Amino acid sequence: MENKKVWFITGASKGLGLALVKQLLQAGHQVAATSRNSINLVDAVNFNGDTFLPLSVALGNDENVAAAIQQTHQTFGRIDVVVNNAGYGIGGSIEELTDEETRDSFEVNVFGTINVIRHVLPILRQQGAGHIINISSIAGIAPATGWSVYGATKHAVIGLSEVLAEDVKSLGINVTVIAPGAFRTNFLQADSLVLSEKKIDAYADIRASHERYSNMNGHQAGDPEKAAKVMIELSEMSEPPLYLLLGSDAYSRAFSKLELLASSYKQWEALTKSTDY
C-alpha cells in the first residue's frame, strides 16, 4: 500500500474507534490502539499481525500516556495520525453529579486528550508532519438539557483544538475537531454512559431528556462504518478542515445554534457596546 500511515487511536475497543481500527488494519495501515483493557481490545479487533499494537492505557495517567506514545514510535518508527476518540457521556444536573463524577469525566474527555497531544507533539514536530483528529460532539456546540458537564467537556475539546491548530500550523501539523451527532454505537449503554445516582424531583425536564436519549439507543441515524471512512478520507487530504460535523442531526443542531447566537448577539448589541470608553 503506497499511502500507508501509522495511526494512534484512543478509545478503540468499541464504537467509532473500533470501526476505524478495523478498517485501517484491513487497508494495510499500522495501528496503535488504546483501551483501558487491552484484552477486551484484542478480542474486539480480532486481528493477528504485526501492524496492530494494542495498548492498555489509563488516559488520565500522564506517565502511562507518555509510555504508550513512546512504544508506538519505537514499534513503527513514526506517528502520522492521532485520533483522540476516548470519552464517555455523563448526564445529570450540576448539583446531582458529585465532584468525583464530574472530575472523572473531565479526566478522560479533556485531560486524556491533552495528555496524548502533549506527548505526541514532539514526534510530530520532529517529523514536520502529522494530523491530530480530536473527537468532540455536537453536544460541544449545542448541548441538550441534562448534559451540562458532558457539554462542557466537549466544548473544551473544541476550544483547545481551535487554538492548537493555530499553534502548530507553521510546523506542518494539521488539526481537525469532529463533532458527531448520534451514531449507532454503544454510547448510550451503561458501559459508555454515567447518569447521576442522585435524583432531585425538581429536575423533571432532565429525567425526560435522559429518557428520550435512552429510547433512541439502537435507532440513531449515524452509521459508524461511514464515519470511519470519513476519518480515513480526512487523513488523505493535503488541507483537511479544522471543523467537521458528522451526521445530518449534527448539521441541523449546529446551524440552529448559529442562528440562536446571531439573534442573541444582535438583540443585545446596544448593551454590549455600552461598556466602551
Cβ–Cβ contacts within 10 Å for residue 49, how many? 9
Q: List the beta strands (DSSP E) in the chain.
A: 6-9, 30-35, 52-56, 81-84, 89-91, 130-135, 173-180, 193-195, 243-246
Q: Tell me how far apart the alpha carbons of residues 55 and 33 are, in angstroms, rounded to a whole number.
A: 6
Look up the pTM and report it.
0.93
- Could you tell me which residues come within 8 angstroms of residue 26 by beta carbon, excluding any fewer than 6 positions away? none
Q: Tell me how far apart the alpha carbons of residues 175 and 242 are, in angstroms, rounded to a whole number.
A: 6
Q: Tell me how far apart the alpha carbons of residues 126 and 41 are, in angstroms, rounded to a whole number.
A: 30
pLDDT band for position 209 (50/70/90)?
Answer: confident
Q: Report the CATH number that the domain containing residue 225 is assigned in CATH.
A: 3.40.50.720
Task: Answer yes or no: is 104 within a domain.
Answer: yes
| Residues facing residue 244 across a β-bridge | 178
Q: What is the CA radius of gyration of the chain?
A: 19
Task: Answer yes or no: is 32 within a domain.
Answer: yes
Q: Is 148 a residue of the active site?
A: no
Q: Identify residue 102 by its one-letter amino acid code.
A: T
Residue of 35, 105, 136, 235 marked catalytic = 136
Task: Answer yes or no: is 37 within a domain.
Answer: yes
Task: Answer yes or no: is 174 within a domain.
Answer: yes
Task: Answer yes or no: is 123 within a domain.
Answer: yes
Range of the domain at 164: 6-273
pLDDT score at 271:
97
- Give the residue, 217 or 200, on which the prediction is more confident: 200
Q: Is 14 a residue of the active site?
A: no
Sign of CA dihedral 70, 72, 78, 80: negative
Residue of 150, 196, 203, 213 marked catalytic = 150
pLDDT for 1 beyond 70: no
Task: Answer yes or no: is 1 within a domain.
Answer: no
DSSP for 73-98, written as a single string: HHHHS---EEEE----EEEB-TTTS-
Q: Tell me how far apart the alpha carbons of residues 136 and 206 are, in angstroms, rounded to a whole number.
A: 22
| Count of structural domains, the chain | 1
Residue of 14, 137, 154, 196 marked catalytic = 154
Read off the pLDDT of residues 84-130 as tens digits, 9 standing for 90 and up: 999 999 999 999 999 999 999 999 999 999 999 999 999 999 999 99
Read off the pLDDT of residues 214-261 as tens digits, 9 standing for 90 and up: 766 656 777 889 999 999 999 999 999 999 999 999 999 999 999 999
Task: Answer yes or no: is 230 within a domain.
Answer: yes
Task: Answer yes or no: is 268 within a domain.
Answer: yes
Q: Is 265 a residue of the active site?
A: no
pLDDT band for position 183 (50/70/90)?
Answer: confident
Q: Identify residue 141 by its one-letter amino acid code.
A: I
